[in-house]
């Protein structure tokens, strides 16, 4: 039976909302959060839906690891980069900040060449760390401000300098929180002294090892949004913290699918926020925690399915190219197959030659059999020519 929030129970003449409230509040499975939401003591009831989501997340994590181990390292590296780029583009997009995949990809490329200049450097640099499972402190208000500064302060300062935090750590003035349609949800907490107190309480919950990590992350995600500590950049900061903590508990690549999953189920996400912020819901944050955990589980399913589909295609494409091409061109074909399936923009000649450890002249010779079969697509990115495999042509040849 699906978990019913108190707004529904209140309007259901067959339900005794008061009795359900007292039952949930006194249940030993209930987590009391030491704060209030919409004027009521906040709590989470560990409903069956939550245990189901936690078990499913653990199972999916094992499947994802198994798929990762079945792929060549170069393919997996390209796929991680592609996921990282998409995650940043989408977390920006949710906040109405425009960025392109090419733009983020160029920042990532420059960063690896130790060029630390350009727009979006902070957010790219921060997300790029997740693969190595870094130790990022998330225990104090100072830690939250440090993450914010690294992640978005430069962008906020450049775009809307009036939105730079003006308090000790956070904001000092009121801010109105709206949903994606611009409809007001609630006002962020004030003054800063209250923001600090509530953030410290939320951080205490986040670091409570007695609560399952995914539940802690969901709780903190809600409370961070409810507190709304900054004028601008709250959503991006909040999603990064969720991505970081999830990448610590599960396969790191899982943390690079949060924004996609949220955006893909944005109505469910905002509805859960709105439900839990309503006075009739009486401080019960369970609906949001369930929704958030289900969104993360869906992100893991999407990742598992994507990896499985790409692995199957990778094996099929290599089998076909091995049959069609002379031995000296098969390594080039593998690089092209990898770039086509796992990278978002194919691969340039310099990168191809570097990967294979050969000169460009040798590379062009090995590419020639693929050209004759019509298996190469080329396109310009800036001044550079990039290549990918013509998958339609490969499918035609595979049937012969």
Q: Do residues 195 and 225 touch, judged by C-beta distance below 8 A?
A: no
Residue 1's pLDDT is 61
* Cα separation, 87 vs 231, whole angstroms: 22
Q: Coil, strand or helix: which one is 184?
A: strand
Residue 179's pLDDT is 66
C-alpha R_g of the chain? 24
Residue 53's pLDDT is 97
Residue 385's pLDDT is 85
Residue 124's pLDDT is 95
In the chain (400 residues long), the average pLDDT of successive 10-residue segments reads 86 89 96 96 97 97 97 93 94 92 91 86 94 94 98 94 97 83 79 98 97 97 97 96 96 94 92 93 97 96 96 96 94 95 90 93 94 92 86 91
* Cα separation, 400 vs 397, whole angstroms: 5
Residue 112's pLDDT is 87
Q: Phi and psi dihedrals of 14, rounded to 5?
A: -90, -5
Q: Do residues 68 and 253 touch, judged by C-beta distance below 8 A?
A: yes
Q: Which of 215, 275, 265, 286 is nearest to 245 (CA)?
A: 215
């Amino acid at each position: 039976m699906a978990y019913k929030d108190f707004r529904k129970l209140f309007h259901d003449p067959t339900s005794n909302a008061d009795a359900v409230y007292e039952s949930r509040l006194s249940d030993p499975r209930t987590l009391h959060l030491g704060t209030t939401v919409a004027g009521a003591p906040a709590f989470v009831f560990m409903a069956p839906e939550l245990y189901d989501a936690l078990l499913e997340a653990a199972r999916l994590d094992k499947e994802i690891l198994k798929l990762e181990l079945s792929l060549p390292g170069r393919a997996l590296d390209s796929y991680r980069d592609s996921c990282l780029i998409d995650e940043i583009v989408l977390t920006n997009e949710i906040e109405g900040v425009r960025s392109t995949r090419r733009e983020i990809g160029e920042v990532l490329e420059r960063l690896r060449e130790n060029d630390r200049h350009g727009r979006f450097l902070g957010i790219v640099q921060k997300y790029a760390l997740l693969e190595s499972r870094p130790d990022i402190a998330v225990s104090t208000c100072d830690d939250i401000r440090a993450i914010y500064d690294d992640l978005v302060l430069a962008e906020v300062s450049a775009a809307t300098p009036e939105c730079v935090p003006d308090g000790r750590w956070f904001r000092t003035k009121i801010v109105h929180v709206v949903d994606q349609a611009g409809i007001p949800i609630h006002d962020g907490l004030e003054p800063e002294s209250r923001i600090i107190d509530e953030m410290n309480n939320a951080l205490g919950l986040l670091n409570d090892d007695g609560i399952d990590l995914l539940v802690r992350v969901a709780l903190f995600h809600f409370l961070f949004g409810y507190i709304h500590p900054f004028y601008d950049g709250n959503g991006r900061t909040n999603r990064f913290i969720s991505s970081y903590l999830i990448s610590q508990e599960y396969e790191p690549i899982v943390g690079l699918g949060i924004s996609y999953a949220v955006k893909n189920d944005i109505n469910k996400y905002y509805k859960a926020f709105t439900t839990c912020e309503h006075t009739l819901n009486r401080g019960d944050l369970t609906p949001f925690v369930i929704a958030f955990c289900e969104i993360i589980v869906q992100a893991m399913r999407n990742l598992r399915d994507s990896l499985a589909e790409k692995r199957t295609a990778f094996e099929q494409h290599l089998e076909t190219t091995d049959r069609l091409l002379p031995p000296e061109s098969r390594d080039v074909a593998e690089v092209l197959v990898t770039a086509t399936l796992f990278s978002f923009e194919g691969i340039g000649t310099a990168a191809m030659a570097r990967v294979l450890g050969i000169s460009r002249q040798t590379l062009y010779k090995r590419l020639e059999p693929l050209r004759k079969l019509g298996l190469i697509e080329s396109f310009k990115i800036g001044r550079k020519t990039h290549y990918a495999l013509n998958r339609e042509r490969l499918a035609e040849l595979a049937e012969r």
